[in-house]
Structure 1
Amino acid sequence: MTILRAALIATALPLMATTALAATCGNTGAGFDAWKADFARDAKKAGVKKRGLAALSSARYATGTIKADRNQKSFKYSLDKFMKVRGATTIVSQGRKRKAGNANFFAALERQYGVPAGVILAIHGMETGFGGFMGDSAVVSAITTLTYDCRRSDFFKPHAIGALKLVDQGAITANTKGAKHGELGHTQFLPGNALKYGVDANGDGRVDFYNQTDALASTANFLRQKGWKPGKGYQEGQPNFKVIKQWNAATVYQKAIAIMGARIDG
């Protein structure tokens, strides 16, 4: 072996090792299985255990998720049209009834977290119609597909890890259904946020985002931890409006939540 050939091989080996360890994104389903094998190493290093790794292994490329991610038209609507399309009048009406029917619960939430009932109920109504429809897509498959997809891989990676850790904890399974983007439960938490901000509010020893009590308390906890200031306003330009932005990045969504929340709190 010549010195030059030996040098070339020595240079290539670190590059090959780096390539082998990198989980490469893709824009079709063709490389998803290979990516899962690479991502499993990242997940294991992040603390994902046997059940979470098994859920990753069984995940399927979610074509419906990719289609939805490329076609989020409603966030481009005007505020008036967005609120009509999302059924704001019904959400406000139902929100008022729910607040009145469970006044002690919502008062307790506000005492503990400082978040008014109107905001929590507006989010609950907007996200799932107060639990009427919490999604029909496998959470683990959806969130890992988005992590594999090149468009926003870095954003979704901690949520994919979060979903796998939730499987380890028994909070969800590989087959748990949620939204097209992997959000789960009554208020559609992204898995990484669910892992971090989840609250066992009903005291049964587990955090269950498909249980309304746990989900709504977790939502209040998320907002408080993101900087909600008790007693301060939450309309556009007021101190807590910026916290609503932490829940959803779409401006039209943020404004709708603020308006509906105020109408519910009336």
Structure 2
Amino acid sequence: MRMLSLSVTLAFGLSSAAAAAPCGNTSSGFNTWKADFAKTAQKAGVKQRGLQALAATTYSSATISADRNQKSFKYSLSKFMQVRGADTIIAQGRKRKAQNSNFYTNLERRYGVPAGVIIAIHGMETAFGGFMGDTKVVSAIVTLTFDCRRSEFFEPHAIGALKLVDQGSISPETKGAKHGELGHTQFLPGNAMNYGVDGNGDGRVDFYNQADALASTANFLQQKGWQSGKGYQEGEPNYPVLKQWNAATVYQQSLAIMGKRIDG
């Protein structure tokens, strides 16, 4: 009798595990999955405001469309730089460095990352804050976590987004890029949680504040292994760190080229 009871218990446990809401490649099942993911989020430390934000998310079709059509990273280096407006970024970047030399000098002194790299990232990601996105960050990142293509990659960033809501750094209405990146340099939410620093001394971290975003970018690169005073061109010690920011080879190459030309 105990053996039968144990068998039933095991069978029930297996069926419960199998009943966990699956990922999906369309909007079908999104709400069921969200209710299940709320348990995961709660175990990870997400609190009431974050859980409410999760419940309020909607499936972002625009995000999925963008995820399926990332063409620019398939361009040649010259084409990629042309599309990203490299010459404009370099010209404006030099002016920005000259106008804010103390700020960038202090960043390099603290984090070891030259101005050219930070400015090139700022220019490539949002045209120096000119366009930081039109998609709700929380809905975008939760949609990508539900989507079967890269669920495991995006899950920590979904948890990060919900925790950012908990601490008041973003709201369910905060807008960013199609993949849920936020602020001046387009941090994924999990990275925002882990590497965000207060760059303007007001006691909070706001990725929509330029000083905070740029200081956080420098901190991210330092934490990923950036060596102060070492080069960042191909074959030099800091070049591999650029991959930590963006995995696309053409992006890394462009960043190295633009950064060097901004730094002069």
TM-score, normalised on structure 1? Answer: 0.96
1:165 to 163, 166, 177: 163
Match of 1:214 in 2: 212
Aligned mates of 1:222, 1:247 — CA distance in 2:
8
Could you give the per-residue CA deviations for residues 70-114 of structure 1, whole angstroms, max 9, x where no partner exists? Answer: 000000000000000000000000000000000000000000000
Question: What is the number of equivalent residue pairs in this alignment?
Answer: 264
Deviation at 1:9, TM superposition (A): 4.3
Deviation at 1:4, TM superposition (A): 11
Matched, 1:81 2:79: yes
1:136 to 134, 138, 155: 134
- Residues 205 and 7 of structure 1: is their aligned pair in 2 closer, same or farther, counting only changes over 3 Å? closer
Aligned mates of 1:115, 1:10 — CA distance in 2:
57
Aligned mates of 1:164, 1:100 — CA distance in 2:
38
Aligned mates of 1:160, 1:5 — CA distance in 2:
41
2:34 to 33, 36, 49: 36
Deviation at 1:202, TM superposition (A): 1.0
1:102 to 84, 89, 100: 100
SS in 1 for 2:28: helix
Deviation at 1:204, TM superposition (A): 1.3
Deviation at 1:194, TM superposition (A): 0.3
- Residues 235 and 16 of structure 1: is their aligned pair in 2 closer, same or farther, counting only changes over 3 Å? same
RMSD: 1.5
SS in 1 for 2:29: helix
SS in 1 for 2:219: helix
Aligned mates of 1:95, 1:134 — CA distance in 2:
18
- Following superposition of structure 1 onto structure 2, how do residues 232-243 of structure 1 map, counting pairs within 5 Å? 232-243=230-241
2:246 to 245, 248, 258: 248
Deviation at 1:16, TM superposition (A): 2.1
Aligned mates of 2:123, 2:117 — CA distance in 1:
10
Deviation at 1:51, TM superposition (A): 0.5
Aligned mates of 2:10, 2:47 — CA distance in 1:
35
Tell me which amino acid in the other structure corresponds to 2:245: W
- Residues 124 and 6 of structure 1: is their aligned pair in 2 closer, same or farther, counting only changes over 3 Å? same
Task: Give unpaired runs (5+ residues) of structure 1.
Answer: none
Match of 1:60 in 2: 58
Aligned mates of 2:93, 2:229 — CA distance in 1:
20
TM-score, normalised on structure 2? Answer: 0.97
Bigger drift between 70-79 and 4-13 goes to 4-13
Match of 2:123 in 1: 125
Match of 1:16 in 2: 15
Could you give the per-residue CA deviations for residues 109-149 of structure 1, whole angstroms, max 9, x where no partner exists? Answer: 00000000000000000000000000000000000000000
Tell me which amino acid in the other structure corresponds to 1:72: Q
Deviation at 1:8, TM superposition (A): 6.8
Tell me which amino acid in the other structure corresponds to 1:233: G
Aligned mates of 1:7, 1:134 — CA distance in 2:
56
Aligned mates of 1:77, 1:139 — CA distance in 2:
27
Match of 2:201 in 1: 203
Task: Give unpaired runs (5+ residues) of structure 2.
Answer: none
Match of 1:71 in 2: 69
